[in-house]
Amino acid sequence: MKRQYLKFVRRFYKLLRDPKVRKNRFFSGIAYKIANRRLWIPCRATVSHGLAIGMFFSMMLPLPFQGFFAAYFAIRSRANIPFAMLAVWISNPGTVVPLAYMQERLGEFLHSKLGVPMLEFLNYSQKVPFLETRCNVSNFVVGMVMSGVIASALSYPLVHLYSLIFPDQIPARRTTRNRDVMRKQ
């Protein structure tokens, strides 16, 4: 896994350092921020932050540009950019319908059992075309945000546990060896 990750990172990082990309009017403002080496070297802290950001935005279903939002917030919080952008693909076109159904049910549970207040301006129901159920938009929004918070909170212990079990895959700290691997291109 580490080889594929480093191969992907090297290729993408080399593309970002290209003078044509840096001089492009769309990327010139953020190219130097994205090309920061520290955001691409995997260590336990940056990977867990990047994965948490990516998991949160993967649960925000109506957003068509989840990867851009995840990358933006990964840059702002100095988290690992590739993990943030790759985690967004959990909500791919094949998993959108089950995720939306689960989020609506989670919101309904939070409203009925835990007494979370209803968002009144979104309190209307719509019949789902191929199912025999009705979807409340307020339940969906509350469930979507809460599932994003739960998924991002679960990513921290999972990354740290994975790093403890497989210390060669995700090191605890950035080492000189990790930096030297990024320099070889």
**166, burial (CB in 10 Å: exposed 0-12, middle 13-18, buried 19+):** exposed
Write out pLDDT tens, residues 4-60.
877 877 787 777 777 777 777 777 777 667 777 778 888 888 899 999 999 999 999
Q: Which residue has the tokens 């159920």?
A: 133
Under DSSP, the state recorded for 137 is: H
Q: Give CA–CA dist 31/38, Å, rounded.
A: 14
End-to-end CA distance of the chain: 19
Tokens of 57: 């935005």
What letter represents residue 141's amino acid?
A: V
Phi, psi dihedrals of residue 17, rounded to the nearest 5°: -85, -5
User: What's the pTM?
Assistant: 0.78
Tokens of 64: 């068509």
Of the two residues 131 and 64, the one the predictor is more confident about is: 64
Under DSSP, the state recorded for 118 is: P
Q: Is 127 helix (H, G, I), strand (E, B) or coil?
A: strand
Write out pLDDT tens, residues 117-143.
777 777 767 776 766 777 788 888 889
Percent residues over pLDDT 90 in the chain: 23
